[in-house]
Amino acid sequence: MNDIALVTGASAGIGRGTAELLLKNGYTVYAGARRVERMKDLQALGAKILALDVTEETSLTVAVDRIYKEEGRLDVLINNAGYGAHGAVEDVPIAEARRQFEVNVFGLARLTQLALPHMRAAGRGTIVNISSIAGKLTVPAGGWYHASKHAVEAYSDALRLEVAQFGIKVILIEPGPIKTEWDNTALVNLQKYSGSGPYGPMVKRINERFRSSYRSGAPGPEAVARVILKALRSRRPAARYPVPFRASLTLLLKWLIPDRLLDFAIRTILKI
């Protein structure tokens, strides 16, 4: 019996890569995203396409209702939809900060709420939340994005403890540097909100370092997809999966280095 999986944010990046890999490994995949036209190739591979906006209640309920009407169950929910509203915390409009949380946190949480009653009734299910090492390590001009990923980390920890009694697994995936379209969105927002004004010089240096070295040698989204598949196949998955290896190393250094020293290092690198 093939597992039924819903992947959000499937029109690009990690979501697309995950949908493709799950299809190749026998899963029945419902691929959800706002940009439906960008998922035609996934449909050709066998995915079932959903117009899905995680910030819209009707969109969420219609998607879940369709899956249960057609399949009778949902075995795997992969909450991947998200984006980065980068810019200095002083500059990013509060409305934009709220939207960041609506997409990255509340959309994820509401979709999970809709799926959980059915998973509890089945006595099984797996929820995979795509977080980031940004949920544990914060750098300048990314405060609102980092805050949203911190929230996903805490939310997932609580959820994992609550639903284990019902046979439901909760897994956090913590990507580090990955080559996706996410970069362009983050950098566009960064320039839009803080490219000029008092934080302009800092933003210029962040842009330079980001483009020249941060993604150097970074793998593509398929690396994250493989880790997700590994976690889904595990009888006893870990609570967290940093990916790639350099993400694990970054988190280890964050744990070892005192905050004051880490602040000094970041400020020295960015000359702030």
Which are the catalytic amino acids? Answer: 145
3-state helix/strand/coil string of the chain:
CCCEEEEECCCCHHHHHHHHHHHHCCCEEEEEECCHHHHHHHHHCCCEEEECCCCCHHHHHHHHHHHHHHHCCCCEEEECCCCCCCCCCCCCCHHHHHHHHHHHHHHHHHHHHHHHHHHHHHCCEEEEEECCHHHCCCCCCCHHHHHHHHHHHHHHHHHHHHHHHHCEEEEEEEECCCCCCHHHHHHHHHHHHHCCCCCHHHHHHHHHHHHHHHCCCCCCHHHHHHHHHHHHHCCCCCCEEEECHHHHHHHHHHHHCCHHHHHHHHHHHHCC
